[in-house]
């Protein structure tokens, strides 16, 4: 493995990652984490800008006379989960946990910033983007863009990494759609409440909601061509709060995932049509809420191939899968890729064998209460960011 020499000893960054893990903060509340990032960047002589989209931080590092620029992004926030791990660096805050590895992403980018600031072995401008609120549909990436991210810090292209259940030492990406859009939907059906023993005196919205939930199971097959991948899941249903009451209203909701805006448009239109028809058939009316939290993550081909070539130089040809199948999970880095060319990729976190004793009983997969980031991959991800910046800026 061809890692950057200065990452031979990463004990400082392991300690940093575990400190961030102990103190998880939710989206737009990453005050402590942002302060740590800003203080370290300043200590290393990097120009620091804070308060972008609230708790976002951007470090700007210029060297030489090169006019080229690049953006490297990491996410800061944790999840509202109760950690089941009991090792020493477990979360110190009930109901909050770094269950997605953003503590590791932040640390890898900080390690890269430290090397580049000390070595100055590049020519151009590197923008280190530390983004708040990636989780829970809060759209921190979009809010940073709306707050003038790319006007204030011009980037020719942007790149990011996310840990994934790929073997340690591996990378996975593709030159197209990699992750799905994230959309939530809710249909509220209005009837006329009554006592459950006298259903003929009311209009039952619960029956309409049950009917709708069943009909939606075939929406994808009837709407999206079989050559495309899409998903609509019914995950929530709510009627009366009492067993003997037919309520005035009931609702059903869930998520929809696609790999194109066109497919999302088709699903939303079909959902509205079916909901209105079923509500009318039951003598009810309905309201449909369809929220597009983030678009699909679609890599740009040139930047994806460039990123893959850098990965191969670090870990070797066999460790890079540059035709990785797209996954139904979502990521709001998609917003950045809609306005700038770039590439999002997975870095292997392994199967959980790295976890310390007293870890939780669940698998080591993201959004699981037994998850922990693999410190062994910090120098791999940091080396990727360093070499990516060097080689991107060295292009004619």
Three-state SS string over 313-352 comes to HHHCHHHEECCCCCECCCCCCHHHHHHCCEEEEEEECCCC
Q: Based on the fold, state whether residues 278 and 327 are members of the same structural domain.
A: no
Token pair, residue 150, equals: 């790319």
Buried b (16+ CB within 10 A) or exposed e, 40-52: bbeebebebbbeb
Residues 192, 162 within the same domain: no
Do 345 and 216 share a domain, yes or no?
no
The CATH number linked to 87 is: 3.40.630.10
Q: Is residue 271 located within the same domain as residue 144?
A: no
Bridging pattern class, strands 249-258 and 182-190? antiparallel
Query: What's the gap between Cα 328 and its chain centre?
Result: 12
pLDDT recorded at residue 333 = 97
Domain boundary among 294, 311, 339: 294
**Residues 162 and 105 sit within 8 Å (Cβ to Cβ):** yes
Domain hosting residue 265, numbered range: 182-294
Helix (H, G, I), strand (E, B) or coil at 72: strand
Chain segment 265-277, per-residue pLDDT in tens: 999 999 999 999 9
Q: Token pair for residue 276? A: 């209105």
Same domain for 266 and 126, yes or no, is no
**What CATH number has the domain bearing residue 265?**
3.30.70.360
List, for residues 218-237, the tens digit of each pLDDT value. Answer: 999 999 999 999 999 999 99
What's the pLDDT score for residue 217? 96
Q: Which residues pair with 275 in a beta bridge?
A: none
* CB-based burial, 184-212: b 16+ in 10 Å, e otherwise: bbebbbbbebbebeeeeebbbbbbbbbbb
301 and 289 belong to one structural domain: no
Give yes or no: residues 339 and 313 share one domain. Answer: yes
Looking at the structure, do residues 75 and 203 belong to the same domain, yes or no? no
- The secondary structure of 85-98, three-state, reads CCCCCCCCCCCCEC
The pLDDT-based confidence of 359 (bands split at 50, 70, 90) is: very high
Domain end (from 294, 327, 345): 294
Instruction: Identify whether residues 300 and 327 lie together within a single domain.
Output: yes
Q: Is 137 helix (H, G, I), strand (E, B) or coil?
A: coil
Contact 263, 219 (CB under 8 A): no
CA–CA distance, 21 with 102 (Å, rounded to integer): 9
What's residue 87's pLDDT?
A: 97
Same domain (yes/no): 85, 152 = yes
Beta strands 171-172; 285-294: pairing state = unpaired
Query: What's the pTM value of the predicted model, to 2 decimals?
Result: 0.94
Q: Nearest CA to 345 among 378, 375, 373, 384?
A: 384
Which phi and psi (to 5°) does residue 234 adopt? -90, 115
**Final residue of a domain: which of 246, 275, 294?**
294
Instruction: For residues 372 and 99, give the distance between their C-alpha atoms in angstroms, rounded to a whole number.
Output: 7
Answer whether 342's CB lies under 8 Å from 389's CB: no
Looking at the structure of the chain, the number of domains it has is 2
Same domain, 290 and 313: no
Same domain, 9 and 100: yes
DSSP bridge pairs for 223: none
- Residue 342 is predicted with a pLDDT of 98
């Amino acid at each position: 493995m061809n890692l950057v020499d200065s990452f031979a000893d990463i004990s400082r960054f392991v300690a940093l990652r575990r400190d961030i893990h102990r103190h998880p903060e939710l989206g737009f509340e990453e005050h402590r984490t942002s302060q740590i990032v800003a203080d370290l960047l300043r200590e290393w002589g990097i120009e620091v800008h804070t308060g972008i989209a609230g708790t976002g931080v951007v470090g700007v590092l210029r060297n030489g006379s090169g006019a080229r620029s690049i953006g490297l992004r990491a996410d800061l926030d944790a999840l509202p989960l109760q950690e089941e791990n009991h090792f020493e660096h477990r979360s110190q805050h009930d109901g909050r946990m770094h269950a997605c590895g953003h503590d590791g992403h932040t640390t890898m980018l900080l390690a890269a910033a430290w090397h580049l600031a000390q070595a100055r072995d590049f020519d151009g401008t590197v923008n280190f983007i530390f983004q708040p609120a990636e989780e829970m549909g809060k759209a921190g990436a979009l809010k940073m863009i709306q707050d003038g991210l790319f006007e204030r810090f011009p980037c020719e292209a942007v790149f990011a990494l996310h840990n994934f259940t790929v073997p340690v030492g591996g990378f996975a990406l593709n030159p197209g759609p990699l992750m799905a859009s994230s959309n939530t939907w809710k249909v509220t059906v209005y009837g006329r409440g009554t006592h459950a023993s006298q259903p003929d005196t009311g209009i039952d919205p619960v029956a309409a909601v049950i009917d709708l939930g069943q009909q939606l199971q075939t929406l994808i097959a009837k709407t999206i061509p079989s050559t495309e991948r899409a998903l609509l899941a019914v995950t929530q249903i709510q009627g009366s709060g009492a067993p003997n009451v037919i309520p005035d209203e009931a609702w059903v909701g869930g998520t929809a995932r696609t790999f194109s805006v066109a497919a999302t448009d088709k699903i939303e239109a079909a959902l509205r049509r079916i909901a209105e028809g079923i509500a009318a058939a039951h003598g009810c009316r309905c309201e449909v809420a369809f929220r597009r939290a983030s678009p699909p993550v679609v890599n740009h081909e040139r930047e994806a191939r460039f990123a893959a070539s850098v990965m191969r130089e670090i870990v070797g040809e066999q460790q890079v899968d540059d035709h990785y199948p797209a996954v139904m999970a979502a990521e709001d880095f998609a917003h950045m890729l809609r306005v700038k060319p770039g590439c999002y990729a997975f870095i292997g976190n392994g199967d959980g064998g790295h976890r310390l004793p007293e870890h939780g009983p669940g698998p080591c997969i993201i959004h699981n209460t037994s998850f922990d980031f693999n410190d062994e991959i910090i120098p791999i991800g940091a080396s990727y960011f360093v070499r990516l910046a060097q080689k991107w800026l060295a292009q004619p």
